[in-house]
Amino acid sequence: MPVADAIAMLEEKLAPVTGPERVTLRHALNRILGEDIRSERNVPPHDNSAVDGYAVYFDDLDEQSITRLTVTGRVAAGHPLGRMAKRGEAIRIFTGAPMPDGDDGGPDTVFMEEDATADGDEVILPPGLKHGANRRRIGEDVKAGDIIIGRGRRLRAQEIGLAASIGHADVLVYQRLRAAVFSTGDEVRDPTDAAPEGCIFDSNRYAVMSLLDGLGCEVTDLGIFTDDEDGIATVLEESAPDHDLLISSGGVSAGEEDHVKGAVERLGQMHFWRLAIKPGRPIALGQIGDTAFVGLPGNPVAAMVTFMFVARPVVLRLAGANDTSLPRFQVKAGFDYKKKTGRREWARVKLVPGGNGLPVAIKYKSGGAGILTSMVEADGLIEIGEDVAKLNKGEPVNYLPFSEVTQ
């Protein structure tokens, strides 16, 4: 199945599974908004000056020569003029200060102080300034009644700042998705233990937990299960009711030692997908009661890549997000690459400066699905579509930085 079709199917079928809770803005970063935020006020709440300078009536200015006006007042942010402004005068004004009210609607244009010359109690203004210059209008940023942030948006610093600008001290968000992670295998050892001959340290569990942390999940480490279907089934049955998602790597194929598959099928249901991707073709999705299950491939690179492009949208949709897409940036390929058509592939690359403004992607020397060092040395992944059989050096190609696909 093409990966785009799989993701579209998932997004259509999945819905948020967590309830709402209210948090302060200080604790809202990376949380998923549980309701639309509608502004009850204009931002800015009044016309104000964008610069330090002098507020004047545009119609008082000489379009061909300098204008000399008497400075009759001073307005600072939070301190209005306190009277109506009159034609023929200039008001000293500072950034953010409210534009004074007055005759014919009040002063409507602001000269930057760098462009004006103070001369005693007068100011000399040069010609050429446009009508309304350096004046911010009421509601220029936000109008009262506008929905400024939609439900399902992951809150970044800019959304939090925008919520604060309309006086929101807290926001309604979805509760953190409760995810439990485990590994299986008699040969798998935790880094806190020793690894005798024939054993390996568990990298996948730690990588997956870190990826879930980046998505704002509440993560439980279930540890490492031995190759025993009964034991795995017991732990999964006990853990499922307290979690929204169970996730593992390896152990879900059809081999004699793939005991996770049997355990999940005993307790619920399992769906196997063979996606037209590389690395990471096999991936399993299932359910135990109301708890979703994702089984990632066992090779470390394949586990991380399938998490980024398949498990990540599952996690975000279950957590309440309405947009799980990833941005693509165009770079130039610094290498030739051949592949089968009908399959989407991701190659690990490092970016170097290019001569024509586009960065150049240099492929990591080894593309093996078990070469975890390649994920450390690379800056991100280039994406080669299903219809491409050969990518030529110098051609444009889509690039996804790890900074985007790991959060």
Q: What integer pLDDT is reported at residue 407 of this predicted model? A: 75
Once rounded to an integer, what is the mean pLDDT over residues 108-131?
96
Q: Residue 231 carries which side chain, given as an amino acid letter?
A: G
Give the DSSP H or E segment for 375: helix 373-377
Q: What integer pLDDT is reported at residue 255 of this predicted model? A: 58
As given in the structure block, the two tokens for residue 158 are 């800019």
Reply yes or no on whether the pLDDT at 143 is more than 60. Answer: yes
| CATH superfamily to which 176-319 belongs | MoaB/Mog-like domain (3.40.980.10)
Residue (of 338, 348, 353, 343) closest to 393 by Cα position: 338
Q: For 37-96, write each residue's pLDDT tens digit.
A: 999 999 999 999 999 999 999 999 999 999 999 999 999 999 999 999 999 999 999 999
Q: How far apart are CA 115 and CA 120, in angstroms?
A: 16
What does DSSP assign to residue 58?
G
Tell me how crowded residue 227 is: count the other CB atoms within 10 A of its CB. Answer: 17
Q: For 259-285, write each residue's pLDDT tens digit.
A: 888 888 899 988 877 788 898 877 888
What does DSSP assign to residue 113?
G
Q: For 19-41, write each residue's pLDDT tens digit.
A: 999 999 999 999 999 999 999 99
CB 219 within 8 A of CB 213: yes
CATH architecture assignment, domain 329-405: Beta Barrel (2.40)
Reply yes or no on whether the pLDDT at 406 is more than 90. Answer: no
Q: How far apart are CA 269 and CA 286, in angstroms?
A: 5
pTM of the model: 0.85
Q: Residue 285 carries which side chain, given as an amino acid letter?
A: L
Q: Given the structure tokens 């760098």, which residue do they identify?
A: 114
- What is 48-136's CATH topology? Molybdopterin biosynthesis moeA protein; domain 3 (2.170.190)
The residues spanned by each domain of the chain are: 21-41+143-174, 48-136, 176-319, 329-405
pLDDT band of 367, cuts 50, 70, 90: confident
Find out if CATH 3.30.1540.20 is the number for domain 21-41+143-174.
no
Chain CA centroid to CA 210, Å: 16
Reply yes or no on whether the pLDDT at 376 is more than 60. Answer: yes
Higher pLDDT, residue 315 or 284: 315
CB 71 within 8 A of CB 89: yes
